[in-house]
Amino acid sequence: MMPNRVFAIVLLFLLALGVSPAAAQGRAETTLAEGWRFHLGEVRGDATAAGFDDAAWQRVAVPHTWNKVGNYAVTRRPDANTTRGVGWYRLRFTLPANAAGKRVYLQFDAASIVADVWVNGRKLGRHEGAFSRFRVDATDAVRPGENIVAVKVDNSKPDPGSPTEFVVPISGDFFMYGGLYRPVSLIVTGQAHIDLLDHGGPGIYGRITTLNDAAATVAVLTRLRNSGRVSAVTLRTRIADGDGRQVAQAEQRFSLAAGTATARETALTIARPRRWNGLDDPYLYRMTVELLGRGGAVLDRVEQPLGLRTVAVDADKGFLLNGRPMRLNGVNRHQDRQEKGWALTQADHEQDMALIEELGANSIRLAHYNHATPFFDLADRNGMVLWAELGLVNLASIPGKADTPPAMKANAEAQMVELIRQNYNHPSVGVWSIGNEITNWASKGLTPSNARPLMNALNAVAKREDPTRPTTIAACCEVLPGEKDDGRDRTAGTADTVAYNLYYGWYTSGRVADAARLGAVMQGYHRENPTLPVGVGEYGAGGAISQHTDNVHGGKIESIYRPQAEEIQAVVHELSWRELKPLDFLWGTWVWQMFDATSDLREEGDSSDINTKGLVTFDRSVKKDAYWFYKAAWSKAPVLHLTGRRYVDRAYPVIEVRAYSNAPEAQLSVNGRALGTAACADFVCVWPGVRLVPGENALVATAAGQTDRMTLRYTGPERAIHVRTGTLEGVTLAGGTRYGSDDFFDGGLGFTLNPYQRELYAAGQQRKAARVVAGAREPRLYASWRTGKAFRYALPLPDGQYRVTLHLFDPAETAPGKRVFTVTASGGAPVRIDPVAKAGAGMTATTVELPATVRGGTLTLDFAGVVGEALVSAIDVVAR
């Protein structure tokens, strides 16, 4: 027996190397984080050779990425690095003294996208795929003392002839960072060991065969590899409870043939099992497998989590955890973060999980690929149900080819196996996803598609690897309920379940109110596919915290450009959740997305290279209003949150005040003056027509013991108002006159003169020439309009005499008499207007002035079409 003092010294030495105490018995793992050298781009000479001079290379620590993408500005950051190509890493490491006679492996938790590995100039292998762990056997390449590992990674775009051409995903609305962005480690173990070449998996896999209140039976499959001579071994399998007490054990004795890989299964019974039950009770056991040699020496040892639970999905009852319906209220999460890209720390993962827990979600969709093991571990411990997804996005084949090339199919299947084996033991994983939005892009003129054969094959792989969990697929662009089949791909039905990615109120009509269609569409899918469990994989809207609107219904949304007001995002979620909440047949719904994330395809909102649909900003510093809506709807904690607090300087003196709360009602005061109680229907409390005084206004809301405050300012005129109609965006002119976005209207629709041409953007084409309104001294007042057969404005103004100026042009008609309408100001006589006759031509600016008298604090303007529809592009009202 080793003396205690000697043992302590050895233990400290091992800890200094990054070796865990348990690992000292059989398996030693050393983290290789510091001391790396990095070079971006190809190099002269042989960078794999031990004698290569890398002194001029950059010193880096791993995890590392060379890319830096995404910032909150309308121009790309000057230090952005969007390089897609080759990066080289080299590290000198010393082999542990106890490695003699043992097996030595290098483990890469992920390398993007393709990685080639050499040790001391000897090629050990290649891995293709950006998101999964892989290992290489370095035993025959290492030597006592110093060794050199060289890694060439390549995140090139999947162009023809590229190393990534057939590596999925070959498309996707997220940036593919390059580098060794997850940890790298050195593993030393016995010649006979638990298989380290098992697709990056742990080599042990616990399957629950029976589970009831009296007992649980767990079959633990262990994959073994013997790289040495014939060996008599003992396989000891143990299960411990949450306090570390052993609750089951079994041993098998047998001989391992030389140079073989094999598998053994052990059945263990746990009496009076405690179930892993999501957020209510995420109870974990631990299973440990030890491979023992002569005299009981530990040759190898692996420990994994074990959660006792069952999962299923029913077409009418939804997701079932331990046989009970559990509505999955979830969020989508990408693995990137501002300034760090994909190179996250444990603290980053923990912060993400804490924010999601605070929100009240009980599920997370890991979009759109295999995420890091620490996040799975957090989900296990915290009770989150995970949707784990293969990194196959958009395209089931290379552009221009309908059928999946064999190399691409093989890569997708290999990554499917890696996803499942590496995460099999995490009880938090509820479903395996075989892909996201695999659609017939031929409808957009880009490429043909024949996706179903690939999706069926991937589903077969998933069911072979793990028959205990349901599979799913996210579909976005299939035929809507009741529509005629137009020949596009239908991937629904290739997996056990489907979840539709539907952005009503955002990508559809461009109108917020369209979000109210979401419930009917999902009911239609359920009606047309009564035996197929359906859910919603994505829904949501963009939200820029520095962009705001006075009325979310004031105009059409620029869903892939600018602006993207924070208020619009919040209301789209309000309406969407109101539609989804009562649909008990849904097996789950997932907000897109929890955090803003990188997309170098986007110039949206107040950002560059960012998808702004997060409930929280890219740097995790700001919880947007929509975050607080879901916290009110999902969390058990009392919630009260006044919305619009970042829209401090208001364009109008009369506003609508909104709050989110899970209390039945809330009270509001402004500058100490009580404004009464509002019911919080569907978690939204509304006080319309709140008047602000000049200067700062203190708003205080209270509800069920909660208090929230915000300060708003109004510095505009008391006896004037300026409205930019038909648009969600206000503007301040050079002379200082401020126009709010369209507000105070009833009826009509808003339109934009030069909307962002999404169909050209999708096809990579140039924008059409902008339309120009002739004679417009201030073009921004003629950039949008409100139109309709009949609509009204009710403008809040003090009583008195006013002059109304209407800014007009006709965007469609070119001849007099084709559009004629009347405008009636505050009950006066109707004024007949023909905008083409008044301007002298179509697409030409003109104005009409009207007198008005305000009584009762409101000036009304009634527009009525006589021939065609009425319209107006801006309104000025000033005191006479």
**pLDDT at 759 (0 to 100):** 46
Q: What is the pLDDT of residue 756?
A: 81
Rounded to an integer, what distance in angstroms lies between the CA atom of residue 508 and that of residue 511? 8
pTM: 0.94
CA torsion, ordered 131, 132, 133, 136, to nearest 10 deg: -100
CA distance 613 to 615: 7
Predicted local confidence at residue 1, as pLDDT: 35
What does the block give as tokens for 521?
A: 């569409």
Q: In sequence order, what are the residues at sequence separation of 6 or more whose Cβ sits closer than 8 angstroms to the Cβ of residue 17?
A: 28, 30, 96
**Residue-level pLDDT at 25:** 60
Q: What is the DSSP code string of 614-683?
A: -SB-TTS--B-HHHHHHHHHH-SS--EEES-TT--B-SSSEEEEEEEESSSEEEEEETTEEEEEEEEETT
Whether 142 and 122 have beta carbons less than 8 Å apart is answered as: no
The one-letter code for the residue type at 563 is P
Identity of the residue numbered 76: R
End-to-end distance of the chain based on CA atoms, in angstroms?
Answer: 101
Share of the chain above pLDDT 90, in %: 90
Q: What parts of the chain have a pLDDT lower than 50?
A: 1-24, 442-443, 759-765
The DSSP H or E segment spanning 703 is strand 695-703
Specify whether 437 is catalytic: yes
Contact 745, 793 (CB under 8 A): yes
**Cα separations in angstroms, 204 against 283, 467, 666:** 20, 16, 54
Between CA 337 and CA 356 the distance in angstroms is 15
For 259-325, the three-class secondary structure string (H helix, E strand, C coil) is CEEEEEEEEEEEECCCCEEHHHEECCEEEEEEEECHHHCEEEEEEEEECCCCEEEECCCEEEECCEE
Helices 518-528 and 566-580 pack at an angle, to 10 degrees, of: 40
Query: What stretch of H or E contains 417?
Result: helix 406-423
The SS3 of residue 574 is helix
Residue 733 has what pLDDT? 97
| pLDDT digits 0-9 by tens, 538-575 | 999 999 999 999 999 999 998 989 999 999 999 999 99
Q: Which of 413, 437, 465, 574 is catalytic?
A: 437
CA 190/CA 184 separation, integer angstroms: 20
Taking the C-alpha atoms of residue 205 and residue 514, their distance in angstroms, rounded to an integer, is: 47
Q: What domains can be seen in the chain, in order of their start residue?
A: 1-25 (no CATH), 32-188 (2.60.120.260), 204-306 (2.60.40.10), 654-714 (2.60.40.10), 720-879 (2.60.120.430)
CA 609 – CA 9 distance, rounded (Å): 51
pLDDT of residue 171: 93
